[in-house]
Structure 1
Amino acid sequence: MLLAEQVLNGLQYGMMLFLMAAGLTLVFGVMGLINLAHGALYMVGAFACAFIAGITGSYMLGLTASLAAAAAAGALVEISVLRRLYTRDHLDQVLATFALILVFSEGTRWIFGNFPLYLTLPPALSGAVTLPGGLQYSLFRLVIIAIGAGLALGLYFLITRTRLGTRIRAGEADREMIAALGVDIAKLYTLVFALGAALAGLAGALVGTIQSVQVGMGEPVLILAFVVIVIGGIGSVKGALIGALLVGMVDTMGKAFLPGLLAQVTDAASAKTMGAGLASVMIYILMALVLVLRPQGLFGAKA
């Protein structure tokens, strides 16, 4: 029972990381942009969901607002700031997007204050369901897994089976050529950035429902999203999915089972602290192993 529950927890955590990493890898793969402000868009989505759900009483309206607010913020940032950085050095991109983190954080603190916001699930999504084998598991966490899986399939269809997806893949391969063929590369970049921002905003809203919504909540998740795309391969949505699931499983299983193993050689309090720390380290060990064996990532294109 414990193993099955932790597997589901790992899947839920992995799907949340995928929503973050998919947008990040799309932006970097197509636009060549290092966007440290992606975590701020995650935070924008969470606050938009909490605010709208709070004043309307509708959680679904809150989720819709998270998508709209994050996409709008992403499009605005791309048009006003990032469009000037595509031909600049990556260091300039890092500095500019780091400044955007500070702008979003202070702006959010000015509007909502320093106190966290909390989301209340509607009755239809609250409680637990009984799975085969008698396991009681949170219905909302299963919904997150389903949303992540559905969006993964949707992104695969979008990129491989639609005209827009063809343009996205062409823009990743040779942006000068598709611009010469008449594609408005500026609009394509804005659309891709808004799509990535919307995915990040949705992830923030979903996670904010489980935990709380607060300023700075996106930065720890952003670090893990970068780990995911390094493992999966930059520019690969499939790699982002597999990498996110690997990171989710390693982190969840480590935190669940390492303290018990360490408790056999040390006291319970120390075992719990050391187990959580080692679980976090294992993620980076996994990333290092992948980089040693496949420097381009599991599904990244060879240089």
Structure 2
Amino acid sequence: MFYRNGLTLLKVSKTLLLNGFAKRLQHTHPEKGESFYKRWIEYIRVYGMDGQSAAFRSFIVSRYHRVDKIDASKWNIIYHDFVASRLSVIGTISITCVGVGLAFSISDYYINGKLTSKRGMQWQRDFEELGAFAYIILSGMILCGICLIRLQLLRILRIYQSKSNPEDFVMIRAGVSRFNKKTPFTRSQVKILSVLYDQEAYYYQIFAFGNIKIHNRSAIINTESFEQPAIKSYMFGERNTIPEKLLSPSASSKKSQMAKSKKIPPPPMF
């Protein structure tokens, strides 16, 4: 009797658990009704193959609001360099792995007076066999690493704009020890450099000084990653009229009512 009741209870619990898990999957994905495999195929296709065109899709925007810990009810995402956002994750993981490996090798050499790990001993033998040429390779690797880290820290990944005050922004950039670094700034703290719209600008100029300064910090921004050109022009100070999307609902409705109430003058009589 106990066995039958226990078996029935187990079946009921299993059914409820599976139904709850299925409902949870439907609620966590923006497009309900799709199968589990289709959802994951869609994720892989978007994050692995799609370009900048997918930056402002609804579930992408919702995800990055959660990742950046930005309240979606108070902030709009107006700039999203989708390609740079994906590369920054790879860069941060790579920098962390290289840093951990170097720290382990240095501590091993400091404690034992030599490299004792099998991989470290193999690297040491290869380095000694190459001789002076090994220093050239090592210098090139260090220089390449510095350039990649510099580029990683300069690129702006995302920019959010306040719904209540369009003059306030939050910039998201990649960090060295953490994935994202938030920097609040205002519209008056944005300074455009001459190389921003210069098609013939040298790469070393952009690499050294960036193409924009925000809060007195050099940065690299992609003008094609803004949601709308009007929002870009407003943030850059090229126009003072607030784009309609950034207006509050009350101000937007008031503006539309004023446009409707404006009387059209009668045509001239001849």
Which of the two has greater helix per residue? Answer: 1
**Greater Cα radius of gyration, structure 1 or 2:** 2
TM-score (norm 1): 0.23
Which of the two has greater strand per residue? Answer: 2
